[in-house]
Each structure stands twice: as structure tokens, then as C-alpha cells.
Amino acid sequence: MRKFLSLLVGLSIGAVIGALLATFFSPVSSDEFQANLKSHYQRALEAGREASARRRAELEEELGELRS
């Protein structure tokens, strides 16, 4: 458990440092950087919703087949 906690803390610190370095050394302005992040987040969220809807339809179809 102690090793896992150490790993988790190390990964978290690395992620924060990486995010800060990416922000500071980004070749675009801060407003454009934020807009890009928001755009990527929205696209990922939409892709997740679409995948969820497709999987739900597959499972509902499978359930219907099992019931009949």
C-alpha cells in the first residue's frame, strides 16, 4: 500500500509539473491555449457520450434478444 501511495503521489506531482511546463512553454497565447483546452475537452466529452449511447443501444438490443 505504501508503494502504491508513493507511486500515486509521484504521478500527481509529475502531472502538475508537466501541465505547468506545457502552459509556460506553449507557443500560443494563454487565451488561445485555454480555448484549445476547452475545445479538446468538449470533443472528448462528446465522443464519450456517443460511445456510451452506442454501447447502450447494443446492450438494449442484446437484452431484447435474450428476452424473446
At 64, the pLDDT band (50, 70, 90 cuts) reads: very high
pLDDT beyond 90 at 12: yes
pTM of the entire predicted model: 0.57
Nearest-angstrom CA–CA distance, 43 and 49: 10
pLDDT digits (tens, 9 = 90+) for 23-58: 888 888 878 988 998 999 999 999 999 999 999 999
* Residue 45 confidence (pLDDT): 97
**What pLDDT, on a 0 to 100 scale, did the predictor assign at position 5?**
92
